[in-house]
């Protein structure tokens, strides 16, 4: 088995791993690619050329993965759980599967959702204080306009999860790879993020004041119009990260200068944009 | 493979039919399908793996193809795709649609 080929394919499929149909697609694809790679090697191509040609033969796989994931959703019978407007204080939902569950306007204070598969569920306007979402699958879930104070999301699966206009004080996000998550219009100044990778995450219009984002990875992340005073990115990795301010907002540009980027690593684009905003990049490594 | 690959939507739009044609001849596995399409088009059309699997999954959902595990050459099991009766009908329909479109286009282009 070619290790590099495997790594490449794993990388593409990582955000969707666990979706059965997608895992199957990954296995099918890998076996084809392996055969192509072996044939190219037999024709006398060196490893690098064979790998390049093999990867080139894949085409636009991200779109196919999306399609397959969507197709599955429409085929699989959905367990529709409607628990709207219910009093479920301190309920035990640990390990349950509730796809597209509706928890709108419910009281879920102190409830345990650890390890639950809540794909596609919505928690609008609910009381979800001190709830436990550790290890839960929260793909395509919506948490908007609700109180999540002191809840925990450690090791959870966050893909296209929306947290907007919510109270996230005292919430912890530990050891998570967030993909296309929306954390917009939200006060995150009392939220904890530790050992996370932020891929395509949107922090537009949120307040991150004083937040410690040290040693974490940010790819394609938006901090547009966000409150960034005294945020620290010590030793963090930033690629293709956007810091766009509202036009003529002196406050935004002043805040940029207070961000700590010591020992951070960033790509040229992010570096150039931040330099234009006069951020302190004296201890930054460009990658 | 040739330098001037035709990657136009014109060909890609017929991926389902190309796959149904290959499966109407014999059951085949994924890599075999892309390889045969490259060979039979003399390298002029290279079907990407992503496009093929997107098409196969759709055909499967529509009940035009099925699959089963067959024996692989190098130890691993191979997934073989097989056309269904409904798939044969779809293929025949697509062909007659294409014949019709071709006649009209020849007058218009």
A40 pLDDT more than 90: yes
* Half-sphere exposure of residue A192: CA atoms within 13 angstroms, side-chain side: 13
Q: What was the pLDDT predicted at A22?
A: 82
Q: What was the pLDDT predicted at B38?
A: 93
Contacts of A38 in chain B (CB under 8 A): 74
Residue A21 maps to a domain: yes
A137 pLDDT more than 50: yes
Give bridge partners of residue B29 from the DSSP assignment.
B80
Distance from CA of A79 to the nearest CA of B (A): 20
Q: For chain B, what is the mean pLDDT?
A: 88
Residue B2 maps to a domain: no
Q: What was the pLDDT predicted at B76?
A: 65
Which helix (H) or strand (E) is A286 found in, with range?
A: strand A285-286
Considering only the beta carbons, identify the residue of B31, B58, B61 that sits closest to A32: B31
Q: What is the ipTM of this complex?
A: 0.84
Residue A42 maps to a domain: yes
Considering only the beta carbons, identify the residue of A31, A61, A67 that sits closest to B78: A31
Question: Token pair for residue B26?
Answer: 């014999």
Instruction: Check if the beta carbon of residue A234 is closer than 8 Å to that of residue A214.
Output: yes
Q: Where are the alpha helices (DSSP H) in chain A?
A: 3-13, 20-42, 47-56, 61-75, 250-256, 268-276
Closest chain B residue by Cα to residue A76: B61
Contacts of A67 in chain B (CB under 8 A): 54, 57-58
Contacts of B61 in chain A (CB under 8 A): 71, 75
Our count of domains for chain B comes to: 1
A123 pLDDT more than 90: no
Contacts of A64 in chain B (CB under 8 A): 50-51, 53-54, 57
Cβ–Cβ gap B61/A61 under 8 Å: no
Mutation to test the B interface, candidates A64, A66, A68, A76, most B Cβ within 10 Å: A64
Q: With bands split at pLDDT 50, 70 and 90, how would you rate the model's confidence at A77?
A: very low
Those residues whose C-beta lies under 8 Å from the C-beta of residue B61, and which sit 6 or more positions away, are: A71, A75
Residue B100 maps to a domain: yes
Residue A161 maps to a domain: no
Q: For chain A, what is the mean pLDDT?
A: 86
Question: Token pair for residue A142?
Answer: 């919506």
A239 pLDDT more than 70: yes
Percent of chain B with pLDDT strictly greater than 70: 88
Mutation to test the B interface, candidates A35, A36, A76, most B Cβ within 10 Å: A35
Give the domain extent around B75.
Answer: 8-108
* Half-sphere exposure of residue A190: CA atoms within 13 angstroms, side-chain side: 9
Contacts of B29 in chain A (CB under 8 A): 32
Contacts of A33 in chain B (CB under 8 A): 49
Give me the residue label for tokens 């931040």. A274
Cβ–Cβ gap A57/B46 under 8 Å: yes
A121 pLDDT more than 50: yes
How many helices and strands (H and E) does chain B possess? 5, 3
DSSP assignment of A93-146 equals -TT-B-TT-B-TT-B-TT-B-TT-B-TT-B-TT-B-TT-B-TT-B-TT-EEESS
Residue A22 maps to a domain: yes
CATH number at residue B82: 1.10.10.10
Closest chain A residue by Cα to residue B81: A28
Distance from C-alpha of A31 to C-alpha of B27, rounded to nearest angstrom:
17
Q: Looking at the complex, does the CB of residue A11 fall below 8 Å from at least one CB of chain B? A: no
Q: What was the pLDDT predicted at B3?
A: 41
Cβ–Cβ gap B31/A61 under 8 Å: no
Give the domain extent around A73.
Answer: 3-79
SS3 A168: coil
Considering only the beta carbons, identify the residue of A31, A67, A68 that sits closest to B76: A31
Closest chain A residue by Cα to residue B31: A32
* Half-sphere exposure of residue A217: CA atoms within 13 angstroms, side-chain side: 9
The 10 Å Cβ neighbour count of residue A199 is 19
A81 pLDDT more than 60: no
SS3 B36: helix
Q: What was the pLDDT predicted at A73?
A: 55
Considering only the beta carbons, identify the residue of A21, A32, A67 that sits closest to B54: A67
Our count of domains for chain A comes to: 1
What is the mean pLDDT of the segment spanning A144-172? 89
Report the DSSP pairing between strands A172-174 and A192-194: parallel
Distance from C-alpha of A97 to C-alpha of A142, rounded to nearest angstrom:
16
Q: What was the pLDDT predicted at A78?
A: 39
Q: What was the pLDDT predicted at B1?
A: 42
Q: What was the pLDDT predicted at A192?
A: 94
What is the mean pLDDT of the segment spanning A5-34? 82
Q: What was the pLDDT predicted at B94?
A: 96
Cβ–Cβ gap A60/B50 under 8 Å: yes
Cβ–Cβ gap A61/B76 under 8 Å: no
What is the mean pLDDT of the segment spanning B47-73? 89
Which pLDDT tens digit goes with each residue over A170-205? 999 999 999 999 998 888 989 999 999 999 999 988
Which pLDDT tens digit goes with each residue over A51-72? 999 988 998 888 888 777 776 6
What is the mean pLDDT of the segment spanning A120-144? 89
Q: Which residues of A73-112 are buried (b: 16+ CB within 10 A; e: fewer)?
A: beeeeeeebebeeeebeebebeebebbbbbbbebbbbbbb
């Amino acid at each position: 088995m070619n290790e590099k080929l495997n790594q490449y394919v794993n990388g593409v499929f990582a955000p969707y791993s666990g979706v059965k149909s997608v895992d199957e697609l990954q296995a099918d694809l890998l076996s084809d690619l392996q055969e192509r790679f072996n044939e190219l090697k037999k024709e006398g191509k060196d490893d690098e050329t064979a790998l390049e040609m093999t990867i080139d033969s894949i085409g636009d796989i991200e779109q196919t993965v999306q399609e397959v994931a969507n197709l599955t959703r429409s085929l699989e019978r959905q367990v529709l759980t409607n628990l709207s407007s219910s009093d479920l204080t301190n309920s035990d939902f640990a390990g349950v599967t509730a796809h597209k569950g509706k928890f709108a306007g419910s009281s879920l204070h102190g409830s345990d959702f650890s390890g639950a598969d809540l794909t596609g569920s919505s928690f609008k306007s609910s009381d979800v204080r001190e709830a436990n979402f550790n290890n839960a699958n929260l793909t395509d879930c919506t948490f908007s306009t609700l109180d999540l104070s002191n809840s925990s999301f450690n090791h959870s699966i966050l893909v296209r999860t929306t947290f907007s206009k919510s109270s996230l004080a005292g919430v912890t996000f530990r050891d998570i790879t967030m993909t296309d998550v929306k954390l917009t219009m939200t006060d995150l100044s009392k939220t904890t993020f530790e050992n996370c990778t932020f891929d395509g995450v949107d922090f537009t219009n949120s307040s991150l004041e004083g937040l410690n984002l040290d040693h974490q990875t940010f790819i394609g992340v938006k901090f547009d119009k966000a409150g960034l005073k005294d945020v620290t990115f010590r030793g963090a990795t930033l690629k293709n990260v956007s810091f766009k301010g509202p036009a003529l907002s002196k406050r935004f540009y002043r805040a940029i200068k207070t961000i700590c980027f010591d020992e951070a690593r960033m790509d040229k684009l992010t570096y150039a944009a931040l330099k234009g905003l006069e951020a302190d990049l004296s201890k930054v490594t460009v990658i | 493979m040739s330098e001037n690959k035709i990657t136009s939507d014109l060909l890609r739009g017929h991926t389902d039919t190309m796959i149904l044609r290959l499966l109407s001849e014999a059951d085949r596995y994924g890599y075999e399908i892309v390889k045969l399409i490259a060979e039979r088009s003399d390298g002029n059309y290279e079907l990407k793996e992503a496009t093929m699997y997107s098409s196969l999954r759709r055909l499967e959902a529509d009940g035009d193809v099925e699959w089963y595990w067959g024996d692989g050459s190098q130890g691993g099991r191979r997934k073989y795709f097989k056309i269904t009766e409904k798939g044969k009908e779809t293929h025949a329909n697509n062909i007659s649609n294409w014949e019709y479109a071709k006649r009209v286009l020849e007058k218009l282009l």
